[in-house]
Amino acid sequence: MNKHPKYEYPKPVPVKNRKWPDIRLKKAPIWCSVDLRDGNQALPIPMTPEKKYKYFKMLASIGFKEIEVGFPSASQDDFDFTRKLIQENIIPKGVRISVLTQARKHLIDRTVESLAGVKEGIIHCYVATSDLHGNIVFDKTREDVKKMSVEGTKMIVKAIEKAGLKNIAYEFSPEEFTDTDIDFAIEICEAVKEAWGKCEKHNFILNLPATVERRPPYQYADMIEYFMSRYKYLDETTVSVHAHNDQGCAVAATEMSLLAGADRVEGTLFGHGERTGNVDIVTLALNIHSRGIKTGLDFSDMGMIVKTVEGASGMPVHQRHPYAGELVFTAFSGSHQDAIRKGLSAGSRKKAEEIFHLGWKVPYLHIDPADIGRKYERLIRINSQSGKGGVVFILEQDFGYRPPKEMHPEIGDAVQSYADKKKKEITSDELNEIFKKSFIDIKGPYSLDDFHIVSELNKGETVRAKISVTINGAKRELTGEGNGPVSATVKALKTQKDMIEFIINDFSEQSMGQTADATAVAYVSVKRGSDGKIFYGVGIHSNIEQAALRAVFAALNRAALN
């Protein structure tokens, strides 16, 4: 009743007592970038040699030790690019370039010719081994496909020997491995290995690709485990995986295949490749990084990498692309923002380290954005969905304000009101203007025109202050006594019958800057006598006393106007 007439569930791999789900990954695989071949051939406009050169330099700087640079027999540009890398000594020491070929003599000869003079290289040959391909594309039997694979390998051996090349490794891909009968795939791979001959592990690579992703990701791992449990030459073979992303599971499938024993991963930065692309090495490698394993790849300047790839490919990296997207570490949600703000504080970081014994444990951030060159001030961005925690975080990070916790709801309300009207994201500068307009530059019925201390009484414990104020448009000279300038000013104001009833509810201050010329910021809240409602005001001045008095009048004006 529930069976679809076109499709069927992939048949399970006959692996018994599978071990890979209980394996813990302990080291990163060998990484091979295929951006310049597989990724490039899938671009609407393939890269120019100049762009490929810049891209190659970037891949080497990231730390790739194996880079597939092209298909020299299929394109003059690819042939010339390979020659340029070799002849101009561009390939860094310890980096092996790889070139792709089909199992046909004239293509093999051209491929080997492109590698003349290389210090270390890989010739990568592929043959589609599935019955689907053999029957429909090649019109060949399994035995014919096996023969093609073995004879192609022998031709490569002869061509290498004839050219006198040294330090050349061989990579063989049974294309459509995941669509191939698993026992037949093992049979072909063993025959190819025997045709290549005895060798060291790093000089013979079997690349087992999910050329078209038709299976769930765990079945790819099952196939790798099954293959490795039966293939005879593991001691002399590097087992590589190459997953495509047709079902969106390439990263998961590849990570599982590593648990199953694969040694090497082929993929591209940001997953470029045919159809939905290859496994995204950026995502996969940084996932492994997040598990506490050194990857050998350096993504600390992600902005540069994104810019280079976009320029070379002509394709933008999506804003939500894992790790690399502009918004992937950004929180708009108020509760998320508050948690991130708290988690990033020095006290919380220390507490988290004590509890979890880790250097990084922050709500909603599974890695430290600084690892890939992202700055903290862009982690939180403000729109109508944002909360007070995110707003305060921006004020702290971008402008140095440290408003008291009790003030945060008022700040959040002011920004929320603005955001609801704008219906778009609010910039950092806009946020600063909202803060100033709402809490600092308040025009109302009260203003302080002048202030000075007349005298100090009781050994300086009490001051008498004279203030010039404007109340409801009338200028007045007032005198008050208190234990400080704020107290004296409040006492003076309370003598006036047309002042609202109020008491000072809270007072705090901070310094913005580290020098003698640092600016003082004061935060004062008043409680309105008529209803007990709290209003905050902020004052800024080079003198802390003046800052405090400005904050008092800002708070009073807010209380009078609201």
pLDDT digits (tens, 9 = 90+) for 198-220: 999 999 999 999 999 999 999 99
Cα angle 440, 442, 443; round to 5: 155
Q: What is the pLDDT of residue 381?
A: 60
Q: For residue 285, which of 238, 259, 241, 251 has the smallest C-alpha distance?
A: 251
pLDDT digits (tens, 9 = 90+) for 331-351: 767 677 778 878 888 788 888
**What is the distance, to the nearest Å, from the Cα of residue 52 to the centroid of all Cα atoms in its chain?**
24
Judged by phi (left if over 0) then psi (alpha if -120 to 50, else beta), residue 30 lies in beta
Q: What is the pLDDT of residue 419?
A: 81
pLDDT digits (tens, 9 = 90+) for 456-471: 766 657 888 899 999 9
Q: What is the pLDDT of residue 376?
A: 61
pLDDT exceeds cutoff 90 at 68: yes
Q: For residue 101, which of 79, 123, 118 has the smallest C-alpha distance?
A: 123
Q: What is the pLDDT of residue 138?
A: 84
SS3 of the chain: helix, strand, coil, percent, to 5: 45, 20, 35
555 phi and psi, to 5 degrees? -65, -40
pLDDT digits (tens, 9 = 90+) for 495-541: 999 999 999 999 999 988 766 567 899 999 999 999 999 999 999 99
pLDDT digits (tens, 9 = 90+) for 10-25: 999 999 899 999 999 9
Q: What is the pLDDT of residue 258?
A: 98
Alpha-carbon distance 136 to 122, whole Å?
Answer: 30
pLDDT digits (tens, 9 = 90+) for 113-129: 999 999 999 999 999 99
pLDDT digits (tens, 9 = 90+) for 471-484: 999 999 999 998 88
| Whole-number Cα distances in Å, 326 to 24, 47, 387, 456 | 31, 24, 21, 58
pLDDT digits (tens, 9 = 90+) for 421-442: 888 877 888 889 999 999 999 9
pLDDT digits (tens, 9 = 90+) for 41-58: 999 899 998 999 999 999
382 phi and psi, to 5 degrees? -110, 130
| Whole-number Cα distances in Å, 380 to 117, 190, 279, 300, 399 | 52, 54, 29, 20, 14
Enter the pTM of the model: 0.77
DSSP secondary structure code for residue 318 in this structure: P
Q: What is the pLDDT of residue 549?
A: 94
Q: What is the pLDDT of residue 351?
A: 86
Structure tokens at 297: 């790849």
Percent of the chain exceeding pLDDT 70 equals 95
Q: Are 489 and 453 in contact (CB under 8 A)?
A: no
pLDDT digits (tens, 9 = 90+) for 350-408: 888 888 888 898 998 999 999 999 876 555 566 656 656 778 888 888 888 999 999 99
How many CB atoms are located within 10 Å of the residue 142 CB? 17
Question: Per mean pLDDT, which range of 80-84, 144-148, 391-395 is the poorest?
Answer: 391-395
Strand positions, DSSP E, 409-550? 446-457, 462-471, 474-482, 502-512, 519-528, 534-541
Q: What is the pLDDT of residue 340?
A: 82
Q: What is the pLDDT of residue 206?
A: 98
- Domains within the chain, CATH numbers bracketed: 20-313 (3.20.20.70), 334-440 (no CATH), 446-561 (3.30.160.270)
